[in-house]
Amino acid sequence: MKKLFTSESVTEGHPDKICDQISDAILDKIIEQDPTARVACETTCTTGIVSVMGEISTSCYVDVPKTVREVVLDIGYDRAKYGFDGTTCAVVTSIDEQSPDIAMGVDEGYENREDGAHDDLNSTGAGDQGMMFGYACDETPELMPLAISLAHKLCKRLTEVRKTAVLPYLRPDGKSQVTVEYDDDKPVRIDTVVISSQHAPEAEIEMLRNDIIKHVIKPTIPEDMIDENTKYYINPTGRFVVGGPQGDSGLTGRKLIVDTYGGYARHGGGAFSGKDPTKVDRSAAYAARWVAKNVVAAGIAKKCEIQLAYAIGVAHPVSISVDTFSTGVVDDEKIAEAIKKVFDLRPYAIIRDLDLRKPIYRRLAAYGHMGREELGVKWEETNRTEELRKALGI
């Protein structure tokens, strides 16, 4: 049976991604000095202004306006004619401390508070309630769905040819979209590629379209996945000069599907950027990816989706759910039991095992948080495969 599936990505100059990167850059600067800080940092941007707000409890000082400008300039908004300039834009801040009611439950997990115990692993309660999903499949070497993997690569390439002046008339804002055709649940060809890139007003549309096919699409999409019926839509409106925060307002956490699996797996709804790792929206989503990836890498299933759920202030997850979509070599229930034996999914253990109290976050804030093996993040390691197989008697 044939079907089509589509995923999108955006470049680091997209307004929402500007905000994600600012929030995570501030988090990085805080966590570098104060690894146990509590950070919930939100950013908005629009024409000529960036606003940073949130709840932050820390012993260190960070120059927020300076950090904002560094990020905006690094992305490439460094002159007024681009519609946004990190040197001259206004920066407004509104930051309070974390609520003491939340801090009470995070500082000491429910298990320790109720039992009067002093177990380090229960010393951090979940920073909020909610559910988080992790996913892996065998479609790509990094065990990610093919559509989102290619969409990210196109956006990274779009940024690369801009910053290296291969295509100097491109500007920072841009999007990609890839439609993959499946036959019997296997990706067999690329049906459609969509790219929209902000550009200088003098750039001619036909030149831009030919250049993007030559310098962005052809080096990125595998040649054997393209055929004479593959469709290309490049700047389909014909003009994309006004972009970035001048063209559209931006907000932290508004690209959840881009950040994860491109819609190929479910999402719990919680954003990542600007949140310290006691927030399970972030840390448990990374852990769920780690678990799912190890299940697939171990040969236990061809695809695996993990759901974790937490109660605020409670260390242990309230549920762990597994779905291998009938690709598992054993029942999903048995895989779930093996996961409980092999992985400690309490926040303290997740933070420890995935080394999350380090300034690693801004580099994740564009081009996806999952599948980023090139960054050396620990949730992409397949270091529990043998333990899982042993727990299942395989």
Position 101 pLDDT exceeds 90? no
3-state secondary structure the chain: CEEEEEEEEECCCCHHHHHHHHHHHHHHHHHHHCCCCEEEEEEEEECCEEEEEEEEECCCCCCHHHHHHHHHHHHCCEEHHHCEECCCCEEEEEEECCCHHHHHHHHCCHHHHHHCCCCHHHCCCCCCCEEEEEEEECCCCCCCCHHHHHHHHHHHHHHHHHHCCCCCCEEEEEEEEEEEEEECCEEEEEEEEEEEEEECCCCCHHHHHHHHHHHHHHHHCCHHHCCCCCEEEECCCCCCCCCHHHHCCEECCCCHHHHCCCCCCCCCCCCCCCECCCCHHHHHHHHHHHHHHHHHHCCCCCEEEEEEEECCCCCCCCEEEEECCCCCCCCHHHHHHHHHHHCCCCHHHHHHHCCCCCCCCHHHCCCCCCCCHHHCCHHHCCCCHHHHHHHCCC
Indicate the range of 97-101, 152-156, 294-298, 366-370 predicted with least confidence.
97-101
Confidence of residue 394 (pLDDT cuts 50, 70, 90): confident
Position 128 pLDDT exceeds 90? no
Q: How far is CA 127 from CA 31, 63, 130, 158, 270, in A?
A: 17, 26, 10, 37, 12
CA–CA separation, 117 and 335 (whole Å): 31
Count other C-beta atoms under 10 Å from residue 58's C-beta.
17
State the average pLDDT over residues 232-257: 95
Indicate the range of 112-116, 229-233, 383-387 predicted with least confidence.
112-116
State the average pLDDT over residues 40-61: 95
| Short-list 29, 19, 34, CA closest to 91 | 19
**Distance between the two ends of the chain, CA-based, in angstroms?**
31
Indicate the range of 30-34, 56-60, 329-333, 369-373 predicted with least confidence.
56-60
Confidence of residue 313 (pLDDT cuts 50, 70, 90): confident
Position 318 pLDDT exceeds 80? yes
pLDDT at 226: 97
pLDDT at 5: 98
pLDDT at 179: 98
Query: What pairing do the DSSP bridges indicate for beta strands 49-57 and 90-96?
Result: parallel
Query: What pairing do the DSSP bridges indicate for beta strands 186-199 and 231-234?
Result: parallel
State the average pLDDT over residues 67-81: 96
Position 75 pLDDT exceeds 90? yes
CA–CA separation, 126 and 276 (whole Å): 12
Position 52 pLDDT exceeds 80? yes
Residues above pLDDT 70, as percent of the chain: 94
pTM value surpassing 0.75: yes
| Short-list 202, 211, 252, 197, CA closest to 45 | 252
pLDDT at 168: 96
Q: CA 185 from chain center: how many Å?
A: 25
Q: How far is CA 41 from CA 21, 99, 101, 250, 374, in A?
A: 11, 14, 18, 14, 26
Confidence of residue 386 (pLDDT cuts 50, 70, 90): very high
Mean pLDDT rounded to a whole number for the chain: 94
pLDDT at 97: 83
State the average pLDDT over residues 365-393: 97
Q: How far is CA 359 from CA 39, 177, 195, in A?
A: 13, 30, 32
Position 114 pLDDT exceeds 70? no
pLDDT at 116: 61
pLDDT tens profile 143-188: 999 999 999 999 999 999 999 999 999 999 999 999 999 999 999 9
State the average pLDDT over residues 274-284: 96
pLDDT tens profile 344-372: 999 999 999 999 999 999 999 999 999 99
Confidence of residue 117 (pLDDT cuts 50, 70, 90): low
Position 85 pLDDT exceeds 90? yes
